[in-house]
Chain A
Amino acid sequence: MRPFTYERATSPADAVSKAAGRRNVKFIAGGTNLLDLMKLEIETPTHLIDISGTGLDQIEPTEDGGLRIGALVSNTALAADPRIRRDYGVLSRALVAGASGQLRNKATTGGNLLQRTRCPYFYDTNMACNKREPNSGCAAIGGFSRQLGVVGTSNACIATHPSDMAVAMRVLDAVVETQMPDGATRSIPIAEFYELPGGAPYIETVLEPAEMITAVTLPKPIGGKHIYRKVRDRASYAFAIVSVAAVLQPDGSGRFACGGLAPQPWRVEAAEQLLPQGASAAAQRLLRDAQPTEGNRYKLKLAERTLAAVLAEARS
């Protein structure tokens, strides 16, 4: 790990003002992704601002009947909250499908959204990677790409976003709330939060330097059956190969988004319109623009079958 200086922030305003105008500074929340990457010198901040004491660990009702989840609420606390379990079951399910009990106790809502890809070439500092080292090339394209993305990818990067939680947040139309050093705040719909890689895969979200996530809000509950189904190489404690988050209504309509396929949770509203026609039609529309590699073409069929299993579970 490279040397860094460290200070604790006492409030979101304090945190963003400490970060303002500095290069190479990072917020640290649970630390479960950042420290992993710092040990490998993939992340090399020279200054860390500890935001764990900023008091953002509450889940509160909003005026329009939804919930406001503080950015520091742990993945365990969020999954266990009775309101989340009752009204946003897909979120609770996605959270407990991710990582391990120990990690979920530390992982935070904000940190989970911003965790970085698990592309094996991103992790191997001897390999070319446009995300880690701009314009160095992409070793995954033409490499071992079985786990990597099939849609939304580019000629520069085919990595996926690894979060389970974010896929459920996408299906629930969550909104990311942030604070800037000048006191301004933003409410960013999760559909607009992540950036596709294009030619600049190192830009992953619309966040600006020193901008801090303060909360994620959920709109009021939409009812329906909540399902999160994750396909992975072992039954627990592994990242998704393909996952489906769905909220399905008794009349056959519904919403769904997929993990494991793209650089961000992948949701296509036009595909949802086709749900009453079955998994095949909906999955084909979802993946219409897919550009799989030979190594990950299987994910197209797997996504369709996972969706079929979800629809069958909803009917049962």
Chain B
Amino acid sequence: MIQDEDFKVSRRGVLLGGVATTAIASTLSPTSSAQTSLPQVEPVSLRFTVNGQSRELMLDTRVTLLDALREHLDLTGTKKGCDHGQCGACTVIVNGQRINSCLSLAVMHEGDEVTTIEGLGTPENMHPMQAAFVKHDGYQCGYCTPGQICSAVSVLEEIKAGIPSHVTEDITAEVGMTNDEMRERMSGNICRCGAYSNILDAMSEVAGEIA
């Protein structure tokens, strides 16, 4: 690995690194001109499992997990909303836990197992949560929906695992599968259409089945 800060940036090198989006952003930025000394970055290899399939990529270090999924693996179900961890549209499940894929570097996921909305179920063979969202109209425009569904699936798991939340009355007791618990735990997924109550109906139905 090149360890010297004093390398000049090579725009061509950066573009060849394969992240057009980040490269353009940094080229346009007034603070990062060719005069600034920036390291020359070699692509880094990443091997991980996405929706049950082993995948291998060579990536610019700056690529987020979200961009790796969307731009490099064409899994565009996962959405980019705010790109700052504030909206939850990019939620995916990594090693059984939901995370914001926009605030995670792809190269930090070596060996991980990632599940996206495409991996939960297919139109022909939907995951129970996907089917419940359809049945209860748990969306309007649909943009936040993949993140909502990945979160909803994980929320039920988190409650079953006994992880406390802000609304858990007694944190030393078992956690109940209640509407309040589900609502609080879904607060990291914003829906600008306001489909919240239908999302809750969908979750309650699935929770009833698994309880």
Interface residues of A (CB under 8 A from B): 1-8, 22-24, 28, 30-32, 35-36, 39, 41, 46-48, 50, 52, 76, 79-80, 85-86, 89, 92-93, 96-97, 99-103, 105-106, 125, 235-237
Given known contacts A1-B22, A4-B61, A106-B103, A101 and B158 CB-to-CB distance under 8 angstroms: yes
Contacts of A103 in B (CB 8 A): 85, 99-100, 103, 188
Our pick among A5, A23, A86, A97 for the contact of B2 (Cβ within 8 Å) is A5
B154-168: CB near A (< 8 Å → 1, else 0) gives 110010011111101
Contact A3 B39, beta carbon cutoff 8 Å: yes
How far apart sit A3 and B61, CA to CA, in the bound complex (Å)?
8
Give A23 to B4 CA distance when docked, in angstroms.
10
Which DSSP category, helix, strand, loop or mixed, fits chain A's interface? mixed
Cβ of B40 under 8 Å from chain A? yes
| Cβ–Cβ contact B1 & A105, under 8 A | no
Given known pairs A85-B172, A100-B187, A100-B188, the reply for A6 and B107 (CB within 8 Å) is: yes
Task: Please determine whether B103 and A1 come into contact, CB atoms closer than 8 angstroms.
Answer: no
Apart from A4-B62, A80-B163, what 8 extra A-B contacts exist at CB < 8 Å? Answer: A3-B41, A41-B29, A47-B5, A50-B108, A52-B108, A86-B172, A101-B154, A236-B166
- CA A106 to CA B29, docked complex, whole Å: 29
Q: Which residue of A lies closest to B2 (CB)?
A: A5
Complex: how many Å from CA A47 to CA B103?
17
**Complex Cα–Cα for A125 and B32 (A):** 13
The chain B residue with its CB closest to the CB of A74 is: B97
Residues of chain B within 8 A (CB-CB) of A125 are 31
Q: Which B residues are within 8 Å of any A CB, using their own CB?
A: 1-3, 5, 9, 14, 22, 25-26, 29, 31-32, 38-42, 44, 60-62, 64, 83-85, 88, 91, 97-100, 103-105, 107-108, 110, 151, 154-155, 158, 161-166, 168, 171-172, 184-185, 187-189
| Interchain pairs with CB closer than 8 A, number | 136
Distance in angstroms between the alpha carbons of A129 and B36 in the assembled complex: 21
A199 to chain B minimum Cβ distance, whole angstroms, is: 25
A235 surroundings in chain B (CB, below 8 A): 187
Known: A79-B163, A80-B163. A3 touches B40 (CB 8 A): yes
Nearest-neighbor residue (CB-CB) of A35 within chain B: B103
With a cutoff of 8 Å between Cβ atoms, the chain A residues found around residue B61 in the complex are: 3-6, 48
Determine how close the nearest CB of chain A comes to the CB of B81; give it in whole angstroms: 12
Nearest B residue to A80 via CB reads B163
Given known A5-B61, A31-B103, A85-B164, contact A102–B98 (CB-CB < 8 A): yes
Contact call B166/A6, Cβ cutoff below 8 A: no
The one of A7, A31, A80 in contact with B162, judged by C-beta atoms closer than 8 angstroms, is A80
- Taken together as a complex, chains A and B put the C-alpha atoms of A97 and B62 apart, in Å, by 30
Q: Is B100 touching A24 in the complex (CB atoms < 8 A)?
A: no
CB-defined contacts of B100 to chain A, threshold 8 Å: 32, 102-103, 106
Are A3 and B155 CB-contacts (below 8 A) given A31-B105, A102-B91?
A: no
Enumerate chain B residues within 8 angstroms of A92, measured Cβ to Cβ: 164, 171
- B184 to A, closest residue via Cβ: A236
Q: Report if A32-B151 is in contact (Cβ < 8 Å); known contacts: A3-B61, A85-B172.
A: no
What are the residues of chain A within 8 A of B1 when measuring CB–CB?
5-7
Q: A101-B154, A105-B97, A106-B104 are in contact. Are A79 and B164 (CB under 8 A)?
A: yes
Q: In the complex, what's the smallest C-beta–C-beta distance from A60 to chain B, in angstroms?
A: 20
The residues of B that contact A102 with a CB separation of less than 8 Å are: 85, 88, 91, 98-100, 151, 188
Q: Which residue of B lies closest to A37 (CB)?
A: B84
18 A-B Cβ contacts within 8 A? A3-B38, A3-B61, A5-B1, A5-B3, A6-B1, A22-B3, A28-B105, A41-B29, A47-B39, A76-B163, A89-B172, A96-B166, A100-B187, A100-B188, A102-B99, A102-B151, A103-B99, A235-B187
